[in-house]
Structure 1
């Protein structure tokens, strides 16, 4: 059976963790090409390639299935590959903006054993689930320069000692802040939640700080909420899931982390509208000068610094590591890993494409054009890049202490449990203790289910 697959035009904004955004012209790469393609969709009996990609000699056209590229840079990289490989062209298949919806479409594609998606650009936390369900192939680790990448980032693509995902980029949360306003009150970037609140109170007393929102992150009921909750718990000294794989949200640290967020909405530290913020909602608010502090991925650096009139805070902001309960906080580890669908055709081409798409040259380009955090360790110490992106040292520090979200085979159930209870606490419909008790029970059940 075949079905019509539409390849959408590419817009602009984050790579690494998912976001939304309006379409814009890319700053330094070729313009986006919009097209419609007819992609075959078959069952495993007739279309599934035999064995993994290292055993396949099948070559020909493939697809790259990925979340919305709001940076406008991916098509330019595909064009370079396609020019050199006219018989093995890669077509971009853009999935919805929401990470949860992307995951759903990836799973639907796998469960129907469709060959419509060849290379998958996955949130690293999905790799274990997809590998356990045999929806993606093991990759030949020795054929990739994994020794040049940050070990913790490489580990995101590993499942039971085998490599199923190759890092395309990585990500760690940063605290974006208004340098002009903090300078006015003689303050440095806060390292604790209490300092952040104090700074906000002082700024709001300034004529230029009147009515400004203090702090925002990603608090809509989607994957970003799991990220922000996990960071709050880690930044209070706890873990959502411990080293033995046991749910540990029935702890004092978890309570303090969630209480920080709940109190923020109650006392106005976090604007009420931030309850529906995903990445792009907060970015637009920060760029419009409506926020003093913003928890965000590195991609915001380039967009907030644009001097084309789209950002009111260009030249007026800096970045720091996230604040925590008693000192610097800890970010969740984000990013994107490239994998090959178990049910794809032309896996030999797919393997070579991943080698190209994930190489250091492309990682350097992505950093320069979109501020995407590279997986290659050496790029963080490159003098020229540090001059262009002063936040690289801070990002390196954030990555060094970043923690993965719960590595759970039934990750969909796990993240749903976290989102449901966190959302209930933030909205005030459930007390913090009750929300965490429910989360502990439901998260434990998700972990126990195999």
Structure 2
């Protein structure tokens, strides 16, 4: 009996010791995963698209952060934008976070569709960045219900790129295109077409980016301020934009195109005298080295009949978001120290990548104020940065592209003679039916 009790007691002590060691091992493992004292590296996964722009910007940020945070590994994974949207929706709908990244890039026009549908799936960044440090118009799409979820990234600030030689041939100067209305722009376009035979701009009938820029210049959008309710009928800025678009097309100053390559090819080959679009087109304009000294960038035109329209607007742009998954604090700190505050970092981005950020303080940096010889020594980055701060803040909401699918068809009806009121009323009815 004594031998049996001795064996049982020894077994009990051995099990207790094993259990204790097992608990310590588990705790040590958990401490390492959560950035504890074991020295185990923290890993951050980032999803983004566009290797030459967004991915390049993130890789630059990664290098800067690593200088002081060698224990953090940042894995930047390139996906097409459509693939990111599909993967996010699939993961968020399933409720499984294992497949999700720590940081994801989302286009500003699409951000609210995720924030409003899955608010608990994103990590609020109010303790890591100051929203007031960024261009005001970026805060609308990146925040929800009083919380800041996105770190604003690139500016889609629009400008009017113009061929100075064509202007001169038609009897104008760059000064004549400063702070003009679209009506004045059309008249100058007619003169250029008459004197040079060149069209004033390109337009793809299936792309309403021009309408988008026009209405944002007036502080208006396709939706009410709630970002959900269609605002098409009785939208004065949209009515003005539709009429202006038709006037441009009817003036015989448009080279009609159907895709990106034709768009770029038109100005690279010298077929058009101007490009009203986002600043991301700069690299494509400068790709035609023989045109150096023949371009300038002037403020975006205003809608002639809308008092709220200003000489600043936006097309495109995206921001960084932290998913509400393990490692979110480390991911937020990484963004805070780079895209969220680092002025020198933004000088590198604009110099090496051509990315104009929306951090206000960056605009005072040396790279932003440098002259660009391609544009006759114009300080183009400084100009674009100053216009960025003037862009009206609108709520893009959840349905930008769904509404535009409707408006593309109705625009053609308008061009073919249907009354504008009928066109916009029809679009309003369709949007109310299709958008939930």
**TM superposition score category, shorter chain reference:** 0.7 to 0.9
Mapped to 2, the partners of 1:133 and 1:56 lie a distance apart of 28
Mapped to 1, the partners of 2:393 and 2:259 lie a distance apart of 22
CA 1:396 to 1:158, structure 2 compared with 1: closer, same or farther past 3 Å? same
**2:327 match:** 346
Report Cα offsets for 1:59-83 as digits up to 9, x if no partner: 6333211122333733344345467
CA 1:287 to 1:101, structure 2 compared with 1: closer, same or farther past 3 Å? farther
Mapped to 1, the partners of 2:203 and 2:347 lie a distance apart of 27
TM-score, normalised relative to structure 1? 0.71
2:52 match: secondary structure? coil
**1:233 match:** 215
Report Cα offsets for 1:377-421 as digits up to 9, x if no partner: 13324466223361245324532442355442xx14x53122322
Residue 166 of structure 1 pairs with residue 166 of structure 2: no
Residue 316 of structure 1 pairs with residue 294 of structure 2: yes
Query: Please, which of 395, 400, 405 is the counterpart of residue 419 of structure 1?
Result: 405
1:354 match: secondary structure? helix
Mapped to 1, the partners of 2:310 and 2:114 lie a distance apart of 34
Name structure 2 gaps, 5 residues minimum.
Answer: 1-32, 373-378
Report Cα offsets for 1:302-361 as digits up to 9, x if no partner: 44235xxx444222111112112327554136432111223x443333223222441333
Name structure 1 gaps, 5 residues minimum.
Answer: 1-54
**1:375 match:** 358
Q: Is the 8 A contact 1:422 1:435 kept in 2?
A: no
1:371 match: secondary structure? coil
**1:6 match:** none
Deviates further, 190-199 or 56-65: 56-65
Q: Is the radius of gyration larger for structure 1 or structure 2?
A: 2
Offset, 1:372: 2.2
Offset, 1:214: 1.3
Mapped to 1, the partners of 2:154 and 2:408 lie a distance apart of 28
Q: Is the 8 A contact 1:363 1:375 kept in 2?
A: no
Query: Please, which of 70, 74, 92 is the counterpart of residue 76 of structure 2?
Result: 92
Query: Please, which of 83, 106, 111 is the counterpart of residue 93 of structure 2?
Result: 111
**1:177 match:** 162
2:279 match: secondary structure? coil
Residue 150 of structure 1 pairs with residue 132 of structure 2: no
Deviates further, 387-396 or 183-192: 387-396
Offset, 1:129: 2.5
TM-score, normalised relative to structure 2? 0.73
Mapped to 2, the partners of 1:234 and 1:89 lie a distance apart of 40
